[in-house]
Amino acid sequence: WAARNAVLATDTVVLIEVDDAVLILDDGSRRRARKQTSRLLTVKAGILLDHPVQVVAISAAAFPGLALAVRAGTDGLGANPIEEITHVTGEWTLRLLLVSLAVTPARRWLGWRWAAPLRRTFGLAAFTYACLHFATYVGLDQFFDFDAIVEDVLDRRYITA
């Protein structure tokens, strides 16, 4: 069976088999687990997809970027597409950052222990949109003209606030 030989990595532990759990620690040493594991965790690009809420969170975070890509492909970004891309990625950066920061209070006040992994998911999504926002501004809007970027930042001080 294919999953029997698959090596799936999490941050600290790697699970190899479903029936006979073998743990591979960070230092590379192997240790057999005392009890058998009943399920296999699915890991894609370092993101634990063990819980359906995680899949929904990743899909929800990716949807605005996909919608923006569809709009870009169908000429639906309006008269100034670079400005639209910059604004959309910037707005979603702030939204996802706020959602990420709201996870801990929600866990404490509402008792939502299941929401703990979502903080990292939304934080990484916010970072992704921030990188897209920055790359759009520097590459598409300013064409890597760093003198113009410095002048623009000095003219609009709220950018660095």
The encoded tokens of residue 103 equal: 């996870």
140: confidence class by pLDDT, cuts 50, 70, 90: very high
Query: pTM for this one?
Result: 0.69
In angstroms, the CA 58 to CA 117 distance is 11
- If phi > 0 it is left, if psi is from -120 to 50 it is alpha, else beta; for residue 143 that is left
Helix (H, G, I), strand (E, B) or coil at 98: helix
pLDDT of residue 157: 81
Please state, rounded to an integer, the average pLDDT across all residues of the chain. Answer: 79
Q: Residue 9 forms beta bridges with which residues?
A: 14
In angstroms, the CA 4 to CA 7 distance is 9
